[in-house]
Each structure stands twice: as structure tokens, then as C-alpha cells.
Structure 1
Amino acid sequence: MALFRKTTGDKSEKPGVFARLGERLAATRRALSGNVSSLLGRKRTLDAALLEDLETALITADLGVDTASAVMADITRRVSRKELGDTEAVYAALRTILYEIVAPCEQPWPITHQPEIVLMIGVNGAGKTTTIGKLAVRLRAEGRSVLLAAGDTFRAAAIEQLGEWARRAEVAMISQPRGADAAAVAHDALQAARARAVDVLLIDSAGRLHTQTGLMDELAKIKRTLARLDARAPHQVLLILDGGIGQNALAQVEQFHKAVGVTGLCITKLDGTAKGGVVFALAKRFALPIYFVGVGESADDLRPFDARSFVDAVLPAELVDDRA
């Protein structure tokens, strides 16, 4: 089964792409499925001790205390009502509950304006600039015109890095010298996007810690500047999260959402991390659309999120302990 959907209805994919995706979440699968299967696969009695151990396994797999507690409250209720008669039934119920948590977050990435103005935000190291480049490649492959705005005027080589992605995607980029006003870059880019009638404008921004008030104020300034040209702009504020930071992602979403109003998430670097269970915690707490996930270095490894395939990848349908 394919792990993630395409953005559009185009079914064409490079050979082998989907075949590799399940392997990219192997670390999270071992953290979640391995621990859960080791408990439920032993045909243990459905008692309080087993349910407590299962909750601990969910917390250890980075679902977080709140999400794990909510999941186990549901399972415990079903056990007490004799709706779940054995460990296999508990496992099936767990898969269903986790799917129901993430399913509302599976939404098509909306492109409903021309240009669609997308402000990309996130902390240093989350993969924001790289994600912008990968999105540009993807959009171009779908036949859309794209313009990039080098709004990260703070980090050394950020403009050059985005410029390299612009070259690879064969799209134009608006930039100013390092240290320039990021809001001015966004202003010029929006005007250029209108003049060139491009479909999507992707605006980079300086990576910042969610606790840095001054830099968060800069993001708010970019939003105000765009709104002066288009009251609806930016149409999207896409937060890039490093999937490897686990529960720290919750604080980032909370603070960025408070500052600039996040409209959707892109979770990167899920390959190689055992902390992908945080996806369930994010979905449970914020219910924001998860438009994309990153599971590798190539442009093809940025994929639209598919809830069913994600659950199947990290918690397979059968009870199989693959921790080894």
C-alpha cells in the first residue's frame, strides 16, 4: 500500500517510490508496534496490569501522556463493557482509535487563489528551506507555475540554498541582500507574483526558536505587509516541524499558532527517527491539517500525508514483534 497520497489526482509515480516508503518509518514502527506487539502478542489476560503496561508503551513511543491516556481510556471502557475479548481485539481497537485521531488531519493541500500565497515558518534545522524547494519541484511537476521568495535574510547562505532549489525546480526567485528587511522581500515577491501571474508563491522566512519574541514579531510584520496588498494574504501559514524532536513539537505549534496563526503542518525527517508517534499527539491536540511529511532527502520523499497508510506503516495490521 502506498504510504502517502499525491497532491492531485495524477497517479503517475516513479517506480519504487512507494515500495521504499514503509521502510523509512521503520524506527517509529519498532518503537510503537514492537513494544505494543510484545505485550499483546503474548495472549495475556486483559487485566489492569496489561492495560497499564500498554499505556506506558504508547507514552514511550512518543504519543505523549495526554494522547496515550485518552486512547487507553477508550480501550479500558471497551474492555470493561466486554466489547474486547482478547489481546488481538485490543490491538485491532488500538489501530482503529489511532486512525480516527489522524484521519481528520488528512486533507488535500489547498491551492484556491492566484497566486496562492504560502508563508513557510519553523525553527532552525527543521528543513524549511529544503521543504520549500521540494514543494517547488512537486508543483512544477504538476504543471503549476511557482515563484520563491528568499525571506530568510538572516542565516548565512540561506539565500544561496534557496537559489539552488530554484535552479533545480526551474523557477524564479525574488531576493534582496543578506540582512535586508524580510517583509520588504515578501512585499516585492507578491507584487512580482501578481505581475507574472504565477500559481503559487512560496515565501521562506528566517528560522527562529518559538521563544524568540523579536523574531516572532518579524513574522507578524511579514503577515501585515502581505495583508496590505491582499487582505486575505497569506492564504496559508505552513509550519515545518522536525519529526525527530518528539513532544517538543507541541510547544512549537502552540507558540507559532499564537503568533501568526498556523493553517497547516509539514512534518519532516520522519525517516530514521523513533519519535514519529508525535504525529498522533499533534493530531489529537491541534487537529491541524498535516499536508506533507518528509521521509528522505530526495524531492520524491516529501509526500502528502495519508492517515490510513501512516497507521498501517507504524502499527501493522497483524501482531508482529519487529523490534529486532
Structure 2
Amino acid sequence: MSLALSVLDLVPVRSDQSTGDALAATLDLARAADGLGYRRFWLAEHHNMPAVAATNPPVVIGLVASATERIRVGSGGVMLPNHAPLVVAEQFALLEAAFPGRIDLGIGRAPGTDPVTSWALRHGAGGVSDEAVTRFPEYVDNVLAMMEPAGVGLALRGSQHVLRATPAAQSVPQIWLLGSSDYSARLAAAKGMPYVFAHHFSGSGTAEALELYRSSFQPSPELAEPRTFLTVNASVADTAEDAQRLALPQLLQMLALRTGQPLVAQRTVEDAETIVEAGLPEAHEGLVDAMRQRWVIGDAAGARKELADLAASYGVDEVMVNPVAGAHRGTDPRTSPARVRTLELLGATAGV
């Protein structure tokens, strides 16, 4: 099986970086992915987090697409309950017009933040309400319809109005449903849409979700057969020992998220090592070890074999890598060399 590789980026913010620095490092990473032949570069949506600057995927997608030449750029994903469907359709219709054939719209149902920030995102109008989540399938349909060149008819006060995301569309983005449970797998299958399970975040239930999607898939005019791929966290270095060290900052970030600890900007490798050497609670050590087992951490040969084995196990021909390697103290804040090195080592002979 020929394995294609893609990139997921959260625009991580280190303790030595400003937001501008983190964005510069993401653009550097995207240029590397473009030059190495990676298939796509997706940006996540997360809000009010000290270590994540990917708050607005459409804005960052525009920056990345402008800084690259051939790689597909998209959202992984836009959290649709946070936004009016028309706004999302307008944003991505413009991106597709500016970069035709290079834009992906990945749509998710989760809020991507805490309840207070969700409330603020919707102007204090109840946050990501139960209604917004319940109407998610309808909102997906609305986005799809509004981006069609002919637009969609809206009946209002006895009159018919046509809504178009942009006046003269020539093409539409490729649209994916994302999820970390079986809900989006069922919905994507029913609508005949491509689907991605958040294996990098969940780490469990992947096989079941993909089987549910494939077994219940209904062909659509846009997609005749199921289409999916795998996401995974990866830290790859010249030696397996270095890769383990570089993974520590992100492991501590995820540990804090899962155990309800205060979130901070991503630590340097040296600061993370100091915390680990001081000793983690026994229960926390177990969580960190479990995450290590699910991530791809190692040297180039070992990591490439792990990716190939994962792809074969789940029956996919594409893997989307979230490069989680941290940075050493004193690194140029506008760069993330270990993340770039992860892509270089994986892309060298992995078939991209």
C-alpha cells in the first residue's frame, strides 16, 4: 500500500513564544510540508488555551495557503456549533475561490473550548446550546447547499430568497466530517461524505468508528465509496531517545488537559524534564505511559514502520500526522525545528 502523509497543526505556543512567533513557526512548518510532498495541511479550532493559537482556522488557512504552492490546506476542523452556517460557507467559498482545488473544509460538532468561551463565541446567546448540537446535521446541509454555485433557496415571510456564499463560485472545497465518537461516523455515512476519526486525540474506538462508517456508507453524487484516513501524534528524531525527550512537553500538556490541571504555554524540553524528574503522581505516570503507547515516538525507521502498520491495521492509505515534538531552551522562537525534523524524517521515504 502506498502511504500518503498529511499534517495536522494546532499552532502550538511555547513559553518562549508570542502568538506572532507561533504563527511564523507554523508557516515554516507548512512550507516544509509543501516542499516534502505532504498531501494536506489542516488547522484545528481551539479557543482560550494558553498553548494553542489555532483559534480561527479560516484566517490561518489563508496565511498557510498563501505561503505554500501545491499542498491542500483545510480545517481540522471548524466546530460548526460555534458559528452560523452562512459565515462558514462564505469563508470557505472565498478561500476556494482564491486557492481553487486546494481547500478542505473539515467540520466538527464539539465546542473546542470551555463552556464560558462557548457562551462568549455566540455573543452571550447561550453558548453552544443543546439546540445547536441537535441541529448539527441541518447545519451541515446548510453549509453544503450555500456553497453550491447556484446557492440555496430560503423561504421567508412568503417570499423566496436565494443565498449564495459567494457571487460566482467555480468550484467548492472538499468537505469532511470529523469526530471522536460514532455520531459523526453515522452521519457521514448517511450523507455520503468523507470522514475522519480523531485517533490522535481519542486513541480508542477508532476501529469501531471506521467500521461503522464503511459498513453503513450510502453513496452520494460527490462520493461513490467511503473515504477516510487516520490521525496520529508523532515525535520523530535522529534517535529514539531524542524523540522521547522531545515528546515530553506535549505529553505534559495532554496530561494537564485530561486531569483538570491548569493549562500553561507549552514548556521547553528542559522544563518538562525537570517536572518529570521531580516525580509525577503514580496515577499520572500511568496516563503518560498510555499516551506514549498510542503516539508514534521514535527514530525514522521505527516511526515509519509504526505508521505503515497503523495504516494497514485500519485499512487507510493516508495518515495525518500531528507533529508534537517540542523545542529546546534557546530555540529561535519563530521556528519549531523538531517539528520540521519530524516531517523530514517521516517524509523522506514514506511515499509522500
TM-score using structure 1 length: 0.31
| Structure in which a larger fraction of residues adopt strand | 2
Mark the structure with the bigger radius of gyration. 1
| Structure in which a larger fraction of residues adopt helix | 1
TM-score using structure 2 length: 0.29
Greater relative contact order (Cα < 8 A, sep 6+): 1
